[in-house]
Amino acid sequence: MPITQTLRCRECERTYPLEATHICELDFGPLELQFDYTAIRESISRDTIASRPPTLWRYHELLPVAGGWDPTWPVGFTPLQRAKNLGDRLGLSNLYIKNDTVNPTYSFKDRVVAVAITKAREFGFETFACASTGNLAGAVSAAGARHNMPTYVFIPSDLEVGKVRGAAIYGAQIVAVDGTYDELNRLCSEIADLYNWAFCNINIRPYYAEGSKTLAFETVEQLGWIAPDHIVAPIASGSLYTKVGKAMRELVDVGLLKQQTTRIHGAQPAGCAPVADAFGHGHTTYNPVRDPNTVAKSLAIGNPADGFYALKLAKDVGGVIESVTDDEIIEAMQLLASTEGVFAETAAGVTIAVLAKLAERGVIGRDELTVALVTGNGLKTQEAVDGQTSARFEITPSMKSFEKTLADHGVLTPA
């Protein structure tokens, strides 16, 4: 395979060989994969991509792996669903949702983890690990199980039960840390310093993060190689958001799109909105949030490592980064489920609620082609909608009881 990739510091642009490292030795700037787009342009085309299996690996030239991935694990190429009913409610006539609730462990994290574990094995690591707000825990545990690697998953101890179960079932060692995500992330970076483990979000992070690009690649391909006018994505660390931006640029760089003018918008929960707050004030950098407090726990990252770059991307592409309250989040989860039949997790509630806000404000025009990234499954965060779903009717097993009870509540006209 030709050398088409290097690691490069996003701050000082110093380059590094492809190793398990994530920060610049000089200024601690984050390292990012840099591809040789001219070389890739020669070997990639819409037709070759179309001829490949429906997984994220159909874009492997733009992923940092040399081969060796698991072709039987069905990650990616999730449905891009026309959302007519939801669009009607929001006043949008050309709305789609990218439904990543149907990945193997029910969130987009299977994408990044598929890349991370492929790279970890390539590097020869024998132990797989991550710090997680939940979705990553499940994805990492499942991938570790498939590859028969011992796996350690660090989670905040207040995480939703569904997410903990959804990780433990695969046999990973679950370590619940009495602290915020930011605190356990710091702990993990110190652990990663002493133990020779492949930490998805630490030493493998530059590779891992590239997996998020496939959400955007697929979206464009599924639209018939058209760049949408708007994409709305959630922001926690800002990694997904910034990689969507990178993906859109790359599609042009490798000749798959002539041009793209997609405005990429970011969504945060008001209880942890350092990036949205900075955006709202016109700042180029953010103030960390010390004690995140939001129903959207997967977005509760108070010190987002890519926050600075997220603000920069928003400025570059005419994006808006907005926040929404817990009530708006729950309402949006219900709206998505009741209009499109998609039960998505709280983070997607944040995305849909921000989508609604941007539509209402006219940032997104009625007929503009718009895609909302629905990143995880609602079954993982059921607590969030406890007591919020419609009441149930208690009856005895008789026609009389059935008709009377429902008629009394005005939901049935007796035959």
Q: Does 288 bind another protein (CB under 8 A)?
A: yes
Member of 19, 27, 158, 327 binding another protein (CB under 8 A): 27
Single-letter residue type at 308? F
User: Residue 103, interface with another protein (CB under 8 A)?
Assistant: no
In the shown chain, the binding pattern of residues 353 to 392 toward another protein, with x for contact by CB under 8 A and - for none, equals ----------------------x-----------------
If binding is defined by CB under 8 A, does position 6 make contact with another protein? no
Identified binder of another protein from the candidate list 205, 246, 357, 380, rule CB under 8 A: 205
139 in contact with another protein (CB under 8 A) = no
Q: Does 132 interact with another protein (rule: CB under 8 A)? A: yes
Which listed range, 75-83, 298-306, 311-319, 335-343, lies at the site for another protein (CB under 8 A)?
298-306
- Quick check: 120 binds another protein (CB under 8 A)? no
Smallest separation, CB 24 to another protein (Å):
8
Of residues 20, 240, 317, 333, which one binds another protein by CB under 8 A? 240
Q: How many helices (H) and strands (E) are present in the chain, helices listed first?
A: 15, 13
Q: Is 309 in the site for another protein (CB under 8 A)?
A: no
Backbone angles phi, psi at 325, to 5 degrees: -80, 165
Which one among 30, 166, 228, 319 touches another protein, defined by CB under 8 A?
30
Least distance CB 233 / another protein (angstroms): 8
Give the shortest CB-38-to-another protein separation in angstroms: 30
Residue 133 C-alpha from the chain's centroid:
12
Q: At closest approach, how far in Å is the CB of 106 from another protein?
A: 14
Q: Shortest approach of another protein to residue 10 CB, angstroms?
A: 9
Sheet strands (E) in 134-229? 151-156, 173-177, 198-199
**Does 270 engage in binding with another protein (CB under 8 A)?**
no
Q: Least Å distance between CB 177 and another protein?
A: 11
Instruction: Tell me whether residue 299 or residue 369 sits nearer to another protein (CB atom).
Output: 299
Q: Are 127 and 149 in contact (CB under 8 A)?
A: yes
DSSP string, 165-186: HHHHTTTPEEEEESS-HHHHHH
Nearest distance, CB of residue 27 and another protein, angstroms? 6
- What distance in Å separates the CA atoms of residue 385 and residue 381, rounded to the nearest whole number? 8
Residue 8: phi and psi, rounded to 5, are -140, 140
Contact 11, 306 (CB under 8 A): no
| Residue 188 within binding range of another protein, rule CB under 8 A | yes
Residue 253 interacts with another protein (CB under 8 A): yes or no: no
Point out which residues pair with 323 in neighbouring strands.
Answer: 268
Q: Hey, what are 233's tokens? A: 């994505």
Measured from the Cβ of residue 395, the count of other Cβ atoms closer than 10 Å reads 14
Pair of tokens at residue 146: 């498939």
Dihedral in degrees, nearest 10, Cα atoms 225, 231, 236, 238: 60
Q: How far is the C-alpha of 57 from the C-alpha of 110, rounded, in Å? A: 12
From 138, 166, 206, 234, residue interacting with another protein (rule: CB under 8 A): 234
Q: How far apart are CA 394 and CA 264, in angstroms?
A: 46
Asked if 78 is part of the footprint of another protein (rule: CB under 8 A), the reply reads no
Q: Does 79 bind another protein (CB under 8 A)?
A: no
Element (H, E) at 372: strand 370-374
Give residues with Cβ within 8 angstroms of 270, minimum separation 6. Answer: 294, 323, 324, 325, 326
Return d(Cα 351, Cα 373) in angstroms, integer: 7
Q: Assess 28 for contact with another protein (CB under 8 A).
A: yes
Which residue stretch of 58-66, 282-290, 333-341, 379-387 sits at the interface with another protein (rule: CB under 8 A)? 282-290
When the beta carbons of 22 and 263 are compared against another protein, the nearer one is 22
Quick check: helix, strand or coil at residue 8?
strand
> Residue 327 interacts with another protein (CB under 8 A)?
no
Residue with tokens 């591809």: 35
**Residue closer to another protein, measured from CB, 88 or 190:** 190
**Enclosing H/E stretch for 328:** helix 326-340
The reply to whether 23 sits near another protein by the rule CB under 8 A is yes
Q: Which amino acid is at 232?
A: V
Q: Which residues bind another protein (CB under 8 A)?
A: 11, 22-30, 108, 130-133, 135-136, 179, 181-183, 185-186, 188-190, 193-194, 200-202, 205, 234-240, 285, 288, 290, 298-301, 303-306, 308, 347, 375
